[in-house]
Structures are given as C-alpha cells and as structure tokens.
Amino acid sequence: MKFFVDTAEIDAIAELNDLGMVDGVTTNPSLIKKSGRDIIEVTKEICALVDGPVSAEVTATDADTMIAEGRKLAEIAENIAVKVPLTWDGLKACKVLSGEGKMVNVTLCFSANQAILAAKAGATFISPFIGRLDDINLDGMDLIADIRNVYDNYAFETQILAASIRSANHVLESARIGADVMTAPPAVIKAMVNHPLTDKGLDAFLKDIAAAEIKIL
C-alpha cells in the first residue's frame, strides 16, 4: 500500500519523508488555507521535497477553467497530480488533462458509480472519502470495498486512494480491502505505532535495565 500524507505542512511532510513513509502528498483548499501559504509556492516546495505524486486541487467549477488551472498547476513540477471534484465538469477536465498525459486525482467521491465514471474519464486516482461517510452514519469502508470489487471486475487501472482517513483503523481496513493508496494526516500515520503492550513491555525492560545496570555504550 502506498502512503500519501494529507497535509500542506512542509515540516510534517519532511519528517515522515525522512523515514521513507511518504510515497506522495495530497492537499486540498482547506489544507492550503490552514497552511497560510500561497498555493503555488507551497506546492512547489512540496514537489521538490517528495518524489511521488503531489495532488493540488483546482478552484474553478467549470470545465474550461479547471483545465486551464490544471495546466498551470502541472507546470509547477512533473509530479503534480491535478485534483478535480467529482462533478460532470470535473470529469470533462479529467478526460482532457489525462489525455495530455497529466496525472489526475478525482476527489470527493462518495459512490461506486462516481468511481466508475472517474475511471472511464481516465483518472489516475479516485479519492473515496471514508471519514465523511462515517460522519453521516454510513460505512466509508463499504465504499472502498465496493470500488475495489467493481474496478477488479474490469481491470480498471485507476488507483483507489482511500481518503478522509481519520484513524489508524481506517488505514488497516483500507489495506485489508486492497486500496492501492491511502492518504492520512501526519498524526494518524504516527498513531499507527501505538500499542499499549509495546509501552508496557518497554517499561518492564527499562526497569530491568536500571536494576541490572545494563550498559552498552
């Protein structure tokens, strides 16, 4: 499973990247706003830091302007994936931009039918939002499984990018289902290391190290 980090915070990306945990980055307008940075400037910095795809989202809602914005975003670096919303205009923009050889991430996906349309329009990534479905008492993981099943039936090449991940369990469940990629905030990726038995075991070892005065250096 590829790991994308869902943030526009350079320091957080750099820390995870140094550990080999970053196969790509996703941003969205809310994350750009949170960073307080100019979208072009911060996206350029992220692209220079990370080798894999960096998703940068268009701001327009009509296809022609989305295409123009997508072309401008793609000029930032070769690893830009233009992010477009899952609307009819977004699909038109996806078709044109992917036809030009640009990576396209179709975002705000909430149904398998939407995911089929994105694949037909040539999307590189489809981003089903798990947490936002859970927020309205639906099961976001059912959507990941549904899309995996449909895509496998027809060998669609579009990669399933499990998004809106809010917990370490979301990561594991997405991996069990076979999502190609997951994108999560840095805090969720870091939370994957936690286990109470690891803490308990380490406490016990530290006590014995102190009691026996074990020294290596």
Provide the annotated active-site residues. 83
161-180: which residues touch ligand E4P (CB under 6 A)? 163-164
Identify the residue among 133, 159, 183, 188 touching ligand E4P (CB under 6 A): 183
Residue number with CB closer to ligand E4P (3 or 129): 129
Stretch that binds ligand E4P, among 60-68, 109-117, 126-134, 194-202 (CB under 6 A): 126-134
- 107 lies in the site for ligand E4P, by CB under 6 A: yes
CA distance 77 to 209: 51
Contact 63, 89 (CB under 8 A): yes
Contact 177, 143 (CB under 8 A): no
11-30: which residues touch ligand E4P (CB under 6 A)? 26, 28
- 132 lies in the site for ligand E4P, by CB under 6 A: yes
Residue number with CB closer to ligand E4P (33 or 207): 33
Contact 7, 186 (CB under 8 A): yes
Contact 58, 81 (CB under 8 A): no
- 131 lies in the site for ligand E4P, by CB under 6 A: yes
Stretch that binds ligand E4P, among 10-18, 63-71, 74-82, 129-137 (CB under 6 A): 129-137
Q: Which tokens is 201 given?
A: 């075991």
Q: Residues in the chain, how many?
A: 217
Alpha helix stretches (DSSP H) within 36-111: 39-49, 63-74, 88-99
Q: Which tokens is 88 given?
A: 């009819």
Question: Could you tell me the smallest distance in angstroms from the CB atom of residue 122 to ligand E4P?
Answer: 18
Contact 139, 104 (CB under 8 A): no
Residue number with CB closer to ligand E4P (86 or 163): 163
Question: Could you tell me the smallest distance in angstroms from the CB atom of residue 125 to ligand E4P?
Answer: 9
Contact 46, 55 (CB under 8 A): no
Q: Which residues bind ligand E4P (CB under 6 A)?
A: 6, 26, 28, 107, 127, 129, 131-132, 163-164, 183
